[in-house]
Amino acid sequence: MTVHWGIIGAGDIARKQTARAICEARNAELTAVMRRTIGGARAFAREFGAAKAYDSVEALLADPEIDAVYVATPVYAHAEQTISAARTGKHVLVEKPMAMSTTECRAMIEACQQQGVQLAVCYYQRFNARHQKARELVEQGAIGQVTMAQARQCFLYPPQPDNWRQDLTQGGGGALMDVGVHCIDTLRFILGEVQAVTALVDTMAYDYGVDDTATLLLRFQNGAQAVVSVAFTVPEVGVDTLNFLELCGTGGRIWTSPLHSKDSRGVLRLLTPDGEQRFAFEQSTHVTLIEAFGQCIEDGAPLPIPGPIPGMEGLRGMAVVEAAYESARTGRTVYLER
């Protein structure tokens, strides 16, 4: 089965990653793209060989040849566009973070369930072969009982005019919403669900209206503790040690870097009293995600890695983000419902 895709919001992230991944995937074809201007849409379509270009969401969703859409607009538009897509029978892959709130996430999940269409969030680090190997090693007991972990993602992101990621009304937050969600989701992918959150979230270096620095302390349901550190305030110098994922247990530790990789390349080290093992991979995170999503459409089943309820991974991740903002605001630990 070939899934015919449409892109809603054919901008920077779609150009850099997802459009190319759709073109390279074995079971996908890029059929149509949508931008706010028809000239921009046509230029994007020519670049990636899409047959059709639109300048409105409604026009793209009315196209009967499109099976699935990739929603890559600013966060404030995700819920409305996902629900509209579901009502026209389109499967939806939506960019992270899933929405502005857990309330919106629930509405998106409900709409897709009612219409019988698939829903997934573009948490492509679940398809990073290094992170999949780290999960496998943890499940095999390679480092014993995991007691602590750390995920860090930092880069320099000074103020930019009209940048929606630096606008609270369009992005919902800053460093925590933009990259913190990847750190949280990757830890959840490996360690399971979060039980409690304590957080510091601040705007320290810049004058825009979103957070530029956040530090979270997480307790997982299995008892493990983890620290998430994200920032828009740190130059990317010494990237191998700046952005990383570390898992520590009673039998050793796993170190992998960089955390935010599109091709699974980097370092994965397993360190135990018996010595050190190194693993290397090359796997496109986005192509693997697109192919897996297409298989789910064909099978009528949710993605095997996020599962079991389509879209639920986005809702649960957003619950952690909301808890972090509440903790930072109140100075208290926030406990999540099971």
The residue among 248, 247, 245, 286 whose CA lies nearest residue 153 is 245
**Tell me, what's the pLDDT at 337?**
83
- The per-residue pLDDT for 208 is 96
Sequence ranges of the chain with CATH classification 3.30.360.10: 126-283+319-335
Residues of each domain in the chain carrying CATH 3.40.50.720: 3-124+286-307
pLDDT value of position 64 = 98
**CATH number, span 3-124+286-307:** 3.40.50.720
**pLDDT digit string (tens) for the chain, length 338 residues:** 999 999 999 999 999 999 999 999 999 999 999 999 999 999 999 999 999 999 999 999 999 999 999 999 999 999 999 999 999 999 999 999 999 999 999 999 999 999 999 999 999 999 999 999 999 999 999 999 999 999 999 999 999 999 999 999 999 999 999 999 999 999 999 999 999 999 999 999 999 999 999 999 999 999 999 999 999 999 988 877 899 999 999 999 999 999 988 899 999 999 999 999 999 999 999 999 999 999 999 998 877 776 667 899 999 999 999 999 999 999 999 999 87
pLDDT at 306: 63
The rounded distance, in Å, linking the Cα atoms of 163 and 160 is: 6
> 126-283+319-335 adopts what CATH topology?
Dihydrodipicolinate Reductase; domain 2 (3.30.360)
3-class secondary-structure state, position 288: helix
- Partnered with residue 269 across adjacent β-strands are 255, 278
0.75 cut: is pTM over it? yes
Q: What are the angstrom distances between the C-alpha of 171 and each of 3, 72, 338?
A: 29, 12, 27
pLDDT of residue 267: 95
Report the distance separating Cα 185 and Cα 124, nearest Å.
10
pLDDT at 275: 98
